[in-house]
Every structure is written in structure tokens, then in C-alpha cells.
Amino acid sequence: MSFKEVNELRKNGQLQEAYEMATNDLNQAPGDVWAARAMFWTLHDMAFDELKRGYNDEAAVLAERMEQLIPQLGEEEPADGNERNLPVRAYARLIRHMQPFYADVKAAYREARTGITIAPYDYIAQLITNGQLAEPLHERAGWIIWYHLWNQQQRMPSLEARQALAHYMSLTGISRPSVLHSRILFVAIRLSKRFGREFDFAKFLDLWGEDNFLPEDWQRNERKKGHRGIFPALVEAAVMQYIACKKQDHDMVYSEEFMQLLSKVVERFPDKAELKRYLSLSLFNRGDKERALELHRELARTLNKYYVWHELAGMYTHDLDMKTSALCQTLTLKVQDNYTCEIHRELGWELAREGNMPAALCELEIYRSTRERCGWPRSWRYEQLRKRIPADTIATQDNRALYAERAQGIINWVYQDVPQTPAVVAARFRDKQGKDVAKLIMPDGNSLFVKASKVPAENYLMVRVQGDNGKLALLTADAATRDQVVPAFTDAVTGEVRVMQGQGGKQYGFVEGCFVPGQFLQGIATGDTITILTEMQPDGRRRAIALI
């Protein structure tokens, strides 16, 4: 084989001699890779030579023969991330050179890269509009459009930006996915944020294609040194903007392709609770109530926002008791009345359905007063419900105790996977703000203070707690028996108490050598058998911290 000789002749400009030698080698060994490669590159140089002389038809014939040889070249895909191997790129470059307007498009592309984009864009936009831009030139035209959008994004009017994106989307010769395609999406997100409702980004993303993201589009990027936080991945930004666009039009119906993408994003970025929320709501609207309830259950445990519990209530169309429970839990959270106004009305309806008219009237009065204070008209639903409540009904003064009691149903369901732990109520008192508070102690020595209304009247409890920024938060509290709770406290001491009196008449006592403060000895005399919880003091002695 004469591969080296053919290459030498070709590089010296002796194309006819190289062609004859390559033809002879290929005739002798039609399946030989090196013979095919020698012929391919010889045809390549011959085609460009014909183009220089203006013989496009002759170059097209040679290009056709090159295309037929590509499968025989045995070229592997490059390892550097290029989409095509060298012969394929060389063939594509030749085809571009053969197209009408190639030289002008190339010049426009080079000018656009310098930041001067208006004239280059206007030129290729006219070609696209007239249907004169051949497909092999589409990628160069796409880059010109991107340079123009990127450089003019803060200055161009909405109509021009949307027309430019429409020109890009009409180009069929652009690889998807590709770096160019991803950059177009990035600038489209920015334009959508700027133009708002003038730009239907949701429709654009569906046209762009939810399956056209590159692997790097799923990667978050750190901000520059000295700046906190990270930039969201392109796929995150696109999904969030799609949802924002839909919210503007009060349209929460997502395309099937977007739903698949949203599910993948929620799985990839579990910290994006709001995206999980919108996935859940969309699933519910599509009729997948079981999965929606499970997702919202997870959200209630992690996000714990009033609107999450309210949305959870809206999903319980099949269980009205649980719906009422979720509405009550919503109202236990500290939220301004103007946000919870309609929730009071909804709860009033459910309480009236149960026959609890005094409590229902209380909710309606909260609704009415809030609407009047904000200057809002009352809805026809209020008037309809008000007629159902007997005229002689006296509203309860406050439904907060009802909220706490009825909320336990939904809370127990939401937190059912969190294990329960025994706890005792060490004390009940009123704090400096005048609020009734209970102090809970658990076997591991941890304690927390909670609103007294959140725990049963009993002193023995089974509770669920979870950490929140280093602090414990009470999730659920159920009444328990002494036998269920006390054995879990290994620091509990049972014995006869010896009550003593110190200076000033203050009482104190000892049980099995453990000091008992007087606050635990009310109604207790020497010789009584009591059980105390203890903790070790810095001096090495044990001290009672609760009487159980």
C-alpha cells in the first residue's frame, strides 16, 4: 500500500498523481482502510481545489464520493468530547463551503464574535425569512443569533427578541443537544424574566425540548470567590422559570414532557422543596392523588409552611375528617390573618357540616372581620354558610384549643415514620409573656418547652421530636401511662423522701441521697415514696429535675 506516498504527493499539490495512485491502491484492495483514507483526503483536497476555481458542480461530485468512503475509514469517535470524528467534520466543512452565501455568512459570523451583532443578525434573519439559508449553514447562523441575543438582551424590545428566538428554532441543521442549544435556553430564561407575560417561556421550553439538556446542564456552579452560595444548574433554572410563567397565567397544567423533566429534577435536587411542591400539585390535578399526598406529606415534614398544610387539606376530598384536621393544623401556625382568611371560612364550612355551629360561627366571624379590615368584599360562600347557622347560635370565643386538638390527626399521619419516645411533663407554668408553657423531659436528657395547648393534660406522654437548626421541635404528643414511660428513664430514682426545712422556711428534701428542690414537694411529706428524674451536678452530686 502507498498511503505515505499518496499523502506526500497530495501535500505537494500533485493531486492528479495522488488520485491515480490512490485509485490503483483502492482497486487492488477495496476493503483496505488505509487505501480508503488515502482516497478520502485526496478527494477532499481536489474538491477544495475545484471550489477555488469556481467549479461547484465538480466539487459536489467529489464530495459525494467522499461521503461514500466515510463508512470504510474505521475512524473512532474522538475522546476529547467532539461530536464528530475528523473525516466527518472535514466533509461537513466542505459541504458548508459549497453552499450559496457561505462566504457572507462566514464573514457575518466572524463579525458577530467581536460583539458587533446587529448587522450580522439582520443579514442572516433576512436569509432565514426568505428561505435562502441552506441547512449546512444553520449552525453558524444559530451562533450569530446567540451572539446577538446575548449582547443585546438588555436593550432589544420584546418583539425583536422573540423573533430572533423564532428564527433560531426554525433552524433544523443544529445539533440537539449541543452547547449552542443550551446557551440559547440560558439567554431565553433571562429574556423571559425581563419581559414577563410578553414571553411565553413555557411554550418555548416545550419547543426547545425537555430532553435536550447536556450532562453539564445538570451541574450547579459555585459563585466567584468571596460570594456565598451557588448558581443553579441550567435545568433547575429552566424548570423554575417554566413554573413561574405558568403561575403568571394561573395555568398549572404542564405538558407531559415537562412533567417527566420535573420529576427528574426533583429526584436530582431534593433540596428544591418548592419544585417538589409544584410536582405534587400537578400530579394531584392529573388525578394521581396517592403520589401527590405522599409528596405533600414529605413537604409538610420538611417545609412546614401554612400553604403546604392548606394544600394538603385540599387533597383530602375523600376524607373530610382529615381535611378538617389539616385546616386546623394550618391555623396553628403563626401567619397573618390576611393570608389565612379563606382558610377560616373553609374550616367554618367543615365545622358546620359536623354540626359544631358555635365553632363554625367563630371561624366565620374571623373571616368577616378580616375582610372588613382589609376592605375586601365577602364572598357568596360566606353568605351561603351564614344562612345555615341558626340565628340564636353563640360563637365560641376562641377556637385555638380546637385547632390543637383536631390537628393531631393529620400530624400523626404526616409524622408516622418518626419514632415515638417517652417523655414526662416536668412542669407547667406561665412565662413572662403570659403564655401557658409545658416543660418536657426525655430519657436522653434532652428537654424542650412547648405551648401547653400542644400536649395532653396528662404528665406521661409519647412524643415525636425532630432537630431544627440544633433545636428540638415537638411534632406530636400522645397521652401514655406511667408504666409505659418511667422504665425508659434510667436516671429515675424511687424511694422514700425526707423533707427538710431550710432558712426562710423553704423546703427541700432527699431521696436516696439525691437532692429534691422544694418546688417538687408540694403536698408531699416525709416517708412518702416518690420517683424523681435526676441529673448529675458539677460537684458530682445528683439533683432532681422532675417528679414523676
Mean pLDDT computed over every residue of the chain: 89
When pLDDT is averaged across residues 473-493 and rounded to a whole number, the result is 84
At 81, is the pLDDT very low, low, confident or very high (cuts 50, 70, 90)? very low
The predicted structure's pLDDT at residue 82: 45
Same structural domain for residues 7 and 68? yes
Residues 262, 266, 269, 272, CA torsion sign = positive
How far apart, in whole angstroms, are the C-alpha atoms of residue 528 and residue 513? Answer: 15
How far apart, in whole angstroms, are the C-alpha atoms of residue 498 and residue 137? Answer: 98
When pLDDT is averaged across residues 167-174 and rounded to a whole number, the result is 95
In a domain, 348, yes or no: yes
- Which position has the grid cell 407547667? 428
Q: Please say whether the beta carbons of 493 and 531 come within 8 A.
A: yes
Report strand pairing: 492-501 vs 529-536: antiparallel
When pLDDT is averaged across residues 467-477 and rounded to a whole number, the result is 78
Same structural domain for residues 394 and 429? no
Q: Please say whether the beta carbons of 478 and 456 come within 8 A.
A: yes
- What pLDDT digit, counting tens, does each position of 340-398 carry? 999 999 999 999 999 999 999 999 999 999 999 999 999 998 999 999 999 999 999 99
- Collapsing DSSP to helix, strand or coil, 494 comes out as strand
Higher confidence at residue 78 or residue 132?
Answer: 132
In a domain, 373, yes or no: yes
Same structural domain for residues 317 and 382? yes
**3-class DSSP string for 294-311:** HHHHHHHHHCCCHHHHHH
The predicted structure's pLDDT at residue 541: 82
Higher confidence at residue 447 or residue 232?
Answer: 232
At 195, is the pLDDT very low, low, confident or very high (cuts 50, 70, 90)? very high
The predicted structure's pLDDT at residue 148: 97
How far apart, in whole angstroms, are the C-alpha atoms of residue 528 and residue 236? Answer: 66
In a domain, 157, yes or no: no
Q: What is the CATH number of the domain that holds 461?
A: 2.40.50
- What pLDDT digit, counting tens, does each position of 303-347 carry? 889 999 999 999 998 899 999 999 999 998 888 888 999 999 999
Q: Which residues pair with 493 in a beta bridge?
A: 532
Indicate the helix (H) or strand (E) that contains 25. Answer: helix 15-28
Quote the domain boundaries for residue 284.
175-303
Looking at the structure of the chain, the number of domains it has is 5
The predicted structure's pLDDT at residue 528: 87
Same structural domain for residues 207 and 293? yes
Same structural domain for residues 298 and 313? no
Of 62, 96, 130, which closes a domain? 96
**437, pLDDT greater than 80:** yes
Same structural domain for residues 354 and 288? no
Q: Please say whether the beta carbons of 414 and 456 come within 8 A.
A: no
* Whole-prediction pTM: 0.75
**125, pLDDT greater than 60:** yes
When pLDDT is averaged across residues 444-453 and rounded to a whole number, the result is 85
Same structural domain for residues 215 and 282? yes
Of 277, 303, 329, which closes a domain? 303
Same structural domain for residues 321 and 285? no
Q: What is the CATH number of the domain that holds 183?
A: 1.25.40
**77, pLDDT greater than 80:** no
